[in-house]
Amino acid sequence: MKLAVLISGSGSNLQSFIDDCARGALPAEIAVVLSNKPEAGGLARAHAANIPTLVVDHREFESREAFDAAMLEALAPFAPDLVILAGFMRILTPDFIAAFRSRLLNIHPSLLPKYPGLKTHQRALDAGDSEAGATVHFVTEELDGGPPVLFARVPIEAGDSADTLAARVQLREHQLYPQAARWFVEGRLELCGDRALLDGEALPASGADLDTI
């Protein structure tokens, strides 16, 4: 199966995919890495792994629609079976989502449905939550609102800042995201209406818990 990984930043999640593909833990090939930022650190990770890269800079387009159309055109020759949003920080248009419907995954740094959008860790701290986490979900038109697949909890510790919490959550993301992708690559995971199914059975509304699978 061919993956396209979309990034905007450091690409630590991309690295977990590169590593898992290389050691055979994820039976897939990363066909291409696309960044909307030419300076994204993840591009160097892709180069180091000899993965083709694309830069489609959103600042060069007049509209979201034109940017997304350019991404679709750039990705088309790679014919990805699964598109992985790994810290890709642009909101996608319905046309882009429709083109990859049922094969578009995102990772969001909160226990969805809590804290869609930005500054998730600070919001969890401000609310006095005892735990934070991350969730992998299918992407639909609703921002961070598509059916959850798999989540990991991370306890909030006394003295945590948004940065210390984000760092611990990211370590868990690197286990969580390739595991969800593995289910898809193995043909076990599918999107059916507004639910994610694993082995033909609906997953819980908040996804499966990485600690109990």
Which residues belong to the active site? 108
Side-chain half-sphere exposure of 52, counting CA atoms within 13 A:
12
Residue 35: phi, psi to the nearest 5?
-120, 145
| Residues 57-62: contacts with CB under 8 Å, at least 24 apart | 58/90
Q: Which of 4, 5, 6, 12 binds ligand GAR (CB under 6 A)?
A: 12
Q: Which of 3, 13, 121, 160 binds ligand GAR (CB under 6 A)?
A: 13
Number of neighbouring beta carbons within 10 Å of residue 14: 28
Closer CB to ligand GAR, 80 or 109, in the complex: 109
9 binds ligand GAR (CB under 6 A): yes
Give me the helices (H) in 36-119, please.
Answer: 42-48, 64-75, 94-99
Q: Report yes or no: 105 and 82 within 8 Å, Cβ to Cβ.
A: yes
145 binds ligand GAR (CB under 6 A): no
45 binds ligand GAR (CB under 6 A): no
State the residue for tokens 């909160």: 110
Residue span binding ligand GAR (CB under 6 A) among the ranges 5-13, 50-58, 73-81, 178-186: 5-13
Residue 33, helix vs strand vs coil: strand
Residue span binding ligand GAR (CB under 6 A) among the ranges 2-10, 17-25, 95-103, 198-206: 2-10
173 binds ligand GAR (CB under 6 A): yes
Residue span binding ligand GAR (CB under 6 A) among the ranges 4-12, 22-30, 151-159, 194-202: 4-12
CB of 7 to ligand GAR, least distance (A): 6
Closer CB to ligand GAR, 10 or 122, in the complex: 10
87 binds ligand GAR (CB under 6 A): yes
Number of residues that bind ligand GAR (CB under 6 A): 15
Q: Six-digit token pair at 162?
A: 């948004």
- Give the Cα separation of 175 and 202 in Å (integer): 22
